[in-house]
Amino acid sequence: MITLAENFNVATWFVDRNAEEGRGGKTAIECGKARVTYKQLLENVNRAGNALLELGVRPEERVLLLLLDTPDFLYTFFGAIKIGAVPVPVNTLARPRDYEYMLNDSRARVVVVSEPLLPHLEAIVEEKLHHLRQIVVASDFMEGLSLQHPSVRTAGVENAPRNDSTAPFPMRSLKSLMEFASPELAAAKTSKDEAAFWLYSSGSTGPSKGCVHLHHDMVVCTEAYAKGILRMRESDRCLSVARLFFAYGLGNAGYYPLGCGATTILDPVRPTPATIYADIEKFKPTLFFSVPTNFAALLAHQREGDGDFDLSSVRYAISAGEALPAPLFHRFKERFGVEILDALGSTETLHMVIANAPGALKAGSSGRIIAGYEARLVDEHGSDVAANEIGDLLVKSDATCAGYWNKHEKSKETFLGGWFRTGDKYYRDEEGYFWYAGRANDLFKVNGLWLSPAEVESVLIAHAAVREAAVVAREDKDGLVKPAAYVVLESSAESSGPVAQEQLAQELRDLVGQRIGGYKRPRWIEFVAEIPKTATGKLQRFKLREMQGARDKLES
């Protein structure tokens, strides 16, 4: 691991350093027709930082970023850090009430928002925002895009209520502010151990939690994973389906390529299989980052006419956000000749802590602990479990956040003397590979034996007719718990009638019984159009349980 000085501003490591080391003329960012060199990146980061200073942003003050994936994101993110402020990127797929909560929780006085997302803020009643004083609108890379453009629509925008009064807060143009700002900026004197930025974690079990990350965290992740596992180099070109506001995407398309002097490829449009394939063929990335749900969607998408999509530029694909089933790995490799390196990370740890490495992977596993990090699997008493036994996963990383903002009790529950309690159930084989068994509340007992939904789902997905599957616990008429499966079919099998679907359901039950044991066979199989997921592509089993519970009540 790299040693950093006590006085350290991370913006200089990811931005200034590239120009100082002779990469000023190299392309740092490609976005549509735009090409931004490292020298231009440095100047624009400095301009953004000076623009925020002009607005009165002070050291340690939070600046909310509601931005699509354009160079403006990186300008304002690193510009805020460079002046000693704390940028807070937030989910562009959230709802107005979520932004109201995060603006008040972070106490941000300034928000920078991409123009197509402005209705989200306009929908919030002014009196409900206790700290916001200034809205800065980013539109420099929005040419040709509008709210009516289907590829930039985000959840809630089309139907967001509008505040018909005059603009509740002063609005300034980011482009205008930067045009009149100086391209020179001395970095604020910050410590490697002070807050650099926040990321809000998933709010699936309550309000989102602000993870406070420090100036050294991005450097730790870059050295450990981008350089240590992926061997990322200056010639690499990175394309990420996960957006920059996610911890995963921020590394993939943000600080990883900048930390290695490589090139990041940004696209503000909402990714679909068609746009993703188009970007791969046009920009020819060498590293492609996505999530299991998207890999399944890519495999389901076929080119019209002869031939297949050209992924020959991709050296490796990387997956995270949810465990990657082995059948998806094999199908993707068979079709495109590209191996997917599955890994485990979280908003709290910033990026990967367990990962498959090139030349050392096991399909279906999350990989092994990354060098410099630690992992434990413990039982309900906190004692380490034996090999191949399921336990609660705890990890230790120097990139783990300092804690949750304003969530003291939750921080005490989650961060245990340097260890982060992930909430995941895993087992580790004799070679040190970790295998996902589900979230702590996903596992359930059938006939007195533990059942891992992830294990059953992997078998179901191995069937050629199945695109996705989710398994949850359900009680039968006798009150006994049995597995229930929800299955999304491949397009070629969607039109089959009731008789054919019942035959398929029996085939799937038999497949599970043959491969992993009779008691794990789903008692019920329901074919659905889609499975509920978070914005990051994680399965929301609790929604399936709630839906099934409501049905059972109606039937009783």
The tens digit of pLDDT for each residue in 319-363 reads 998 889 999 999 999 999 999 999 999 999 999 999 999 999 999
Q: CATH topology of 10-23+37-216 equal to that of 446-555?
A: no
Q: Which residue do the tokens 């730790």 mark?
A: 220
Q: Are strands 466-475 and 481-489 parallel, antiparallel or unpaired?
A: antiparallel
- Is 244 in contact with 69 (CB distance < 8 Å)? yes
Name, in order, each residue with C-beta under 8 angstroms of 206's C-beta and a sequence gap of 6 or more: none
Q: Tens digit of pLDDT for each residue in 251-260?
A: 999 999 999 9
Least confident of 52-61, 165-174, 208-217: 165-174
Helix H or strand E segment including 266: strand 263-266
Give 169's pLDDT tier (boundaries 50, 70, 90). confident
d(CA 451, CA 459): 13
Backbone angles phi, psi at 482, to 5 degrees: -135, 160
What tokens does 80 get?
């805020």
Backbone angles phi, psi at 327, to 5 degrees: -60, -35
Domain boundaries, the chain: 10-23+37-216, 446-555
Is 90 exceeded by the pLDDT of residue 448? no
Q: Give the chain's mean pLDDT.
A: 91
**What is this structure's pTM?**
0.86
Name, in order, each residue with C-beta under 8 angstroms of 249's C-beta and a sequence gap of 6 or more: 69, 240, 242, 243, 289
Q: Which residue do the tokens 């039109």 mark?
A: 495
Is 60 exceeded by the pLDDT of residue 153? no
In 338-443, the DSSP E strands lie at: 340-345, 352-355, 368-369, 374-378, 391-396, 415-416, 419-428, 434-439
Q: Which CATH class is domain 446-555?
A: alpha beta
Least confident of 335-349, 385-399, 469-483: 469-483
What tokens does 436 get?
């996902």
Q: Minimal CA–CA distance to 204: which of 314, 98, 73, 318?
A: 98
Question: Rounded to whole angstroms, what are the CA distances from 4 to 79, 216, 337?
Answer: 20, 8, 40
CATH of domain 10-23+37-216: 3.40.50.980
- Is 482 in contact with 451 (CB distance < 8 Å)? no
- Is 320 in contact with 343 (CB distance < 8 Å)? yes
